[in-house]
Structure 1
Amino acid sequence: MNSKGLEIFCKAWLPRKGVRLKGIVCFCHGYGDTCTFFFEGIAKIIAASGYGVYSIDHPGFGLSEGLHGYIPSFDELVDNFIERFQVIKERSEASGVPHFLLGQSMGGAVAIKVHLKRPSDWDGIILVAPMCKIAENVKPPPAVLKALGFLSNVLPKAKLFPETDLADLAFRDPRKKKMAVYNVIAYSDRMRLRTGMELLKATDDIERQIEMVSSPLLVLHGAADKVTDPAVSKFLYENASSKDKTLKLYPEGYHCILEGEPDERISIVFDDIVSWLDSRCIH
């Protein structure tokens, strides 16, 4: 349960028996997504490298309860994540090892806001194509946005945000894009009005507080991403106060660099993630 009384779906992946646990990685999934389907493969690769991986479906997404695709408050979503992972971090296997956040797309915004609220709770943050600002080609025009903002107070749950085929923008490998249609618990309908306005508000909040990001930071982004702008990851990297920070841009990479690229490119990204984690854990 979360504080609103909703059942929240949680999942854990641990290294095989006999493998020493190096650290804990807590994953924040992106908009419309889930911690199942594509993430199963992602989690298993990280777990095989010696890390416990924990994830939840945000309320209203995947297998968690709540109106599908509806975010009434981004801050409440962040608080729910903190509440859930506070319990996970108190488990015996999580004691005495580093704790890391891994956020993808919208989950990157969740991870940043979790860190800003509880800056001393985490030993590092990995952000994959983080939603620090919505790309201009995805955002509605200013006049439309103003009208949507008014309507979001009247019809918050209405699916009235202009539709964009994100699969074409997110997956570079055609085979992976075809697989995405089988993720039947993903939310792929038009964005709900309040959800859209809350996402825009969250990115504005993050931009205003960007200099307060102080955790060790790894930012990974496809250089050809047209959903979240790689230039904003550069802005995050340059303006975060973190003394330990790394930015990696992958030439030709689209938005989903963990699951939507050719296999050999995905392997490079995972090697970068595991190497970064390993270098920040006690051996």
Structure 2
Amino acid sequence: MESENQKLLQSYPYFWGYTPEQDYYTQQGIISSKSHFTTPRGLTLFTRSWLPQTTPPRGIIFMVHGYGNDISWTFQSTSIFFAQMGFACFALDLQGHGHSQGLKAFVPNVDLVVHDCLSFFTHIKQSNTTFMGLPCFLYGESMGAAISLLIHFAEPQGFKGAILVAPMCKISDKVRPRWPIPQILTFLAKFFPTWAIVPTPDLMYKSVKVDHKKVIADMNPMRYRGKPRLGTVVELLRVTDLLNKKLCDVSVPFIVLHGSADVVTDPEVSVELYEKARSEDKTIKVYDGMMHSLLFGETDENVQIVRNDILSWLNDRCNGRTVE
């Protein structure tokens, strides 16, 4: 176990002061930067970019993290991989998450979050002539995948495709509060929306399979560890119920990836998304025995399988251009 922990710590050396942050990115063969973006509604959000170091990007990936997560810890291992493969990646900490403005883990209106993301993504598209004409993709994990679908609904022609990792199109019945709790929560949320009292277990331990990776995930200083807030839960229930009814309206090309052992979001709903979506170009991958955190929490071998499936899908939609 000690050697496994050491191996994983070395994968993120700048977190522990082993390597200066920019030196680490240089060693990875990419360029990374961080900044802040002010949304049209005046909210200040923390942003990051990950770019190929030696070649022009062949596509842009706009990335959306999941509930309680952020873009500066394990999430960015996927961004680094995509940048190494020739893609320019951009992401922001959502309202109330990571280094962004807002009460921790309080998301009272997902529609506003969608507009925040769209504003930032549009800003990126228009900010650099290098990006003109490049194919643009959405990437979302869990709640971030649900938000990605809502972004698609808001701007149907804005993206060439979407990568949906364990999408929260419906909260799994295994973690969803049972009747009459949702009705009680909805009533209380009208008066006490910020109360962190919803009786839900820490989802990180239900998401990450490998024990020593649970240790790393739990070390994230920005990870939200409190109980879900009333207003956030009620809003996520509203949004997932809405999405579940609008699966047939999805028209963007997409790949949806889900673990069969996921107890946080429902893999059967991903199958339903694949079957109902009117997209002419759609792909589904359901991984036997894998859990919710497909791109970090699984064994390294499993993570690489998922990465390769996504990369193959991207390569097929970027005019066959690949990175050697």
Tell me the TM-score normalised to structure 1 length: 0.98
Root-mean-square deviation (CA, aligned residues, Å) is 0.9
Q: Does residue 205 in structure 1 map to residue 205 in structure 2? A: no
1:244 is matched with 281
1:40 offset after TM fit, Å?
2.2
1:69-103, Cα deviation, whole Å (9 max, x unpaired): 10010111111111111101112232111000001
Q: Does residue 51 in structure 1 map to residue 84 in structure 2? A: no
SS of the aligned residue for 1:100 comes to strand
SS of the aligned residue for 1:265 comes to helix
1:136 is matched with 173
1:167 is matched with 204
Distance 1:94 1:61 in 2: 28
Distance 1:203 1:277 in 2: 27
2:106 is matched with 70
Letter in 2 for 1:52: A
SS of the aligned residue for 1:154 comes to coil
**Identical aligned pairs, as a percentage?**
39
Q: Which runs of 5+ in 2 are unaligned?
A: 1-37
Moved over 3 A (4+): none
Q: Aligned runs of 1:1-283 on 2, under 5 Å? A: 1-17=38-54, 19-90=55-126, 91-282=128-319, 283=321
Distance 1:40 1:225 in 2: 21
Contact 2:49/2:90 (8 A) holds in 1: yes
1:137-160, Cα deviation, whole Å (9 max, x unpaired): 111112011010000000000011
Distance 2:270 2:115 in 1: 24
1:12 offset after TM fit, Å?
0.3
SS of the aligned residue for 1:220 comes to strand
Letter in 2 for 1:30: G
Q: Which structure has the larger Rg?
A: 2
1:163 offset after TM fit, Å?
2.5
1:26 offset after TM fit, Å?
0.3
Distance 1:188 1:275 in 2: 35
Structure 1 residues 93 and 186: alpha-carbon distance in aligned structure 2, compared to 1, 3 A threshold: farther
SS of the aligned residue for 1:249 comes to strand
1:131-189, Cα deviation, whole Å (9 max, x unpaired): 00000011111201101000000000001111312122101111111111111101121
Distance 1:167 1:189 in 2: 12
1:210 offset after TM fit, Å?
1.2
Distance 2:66 2:262 in 1: 15
Letter in 1 for 2:117: F
Q: Which runs of 5+ in 1 are unaligned?
A: none
Letter in 2 for 1:48: Q
Letter in 2 for 1:219: V
Distance 1:244 1:188 in 2: 38
Number of residue pairs aligned between Structure 1 and Structure 2: 282
Letter in 2 for 1:142: W
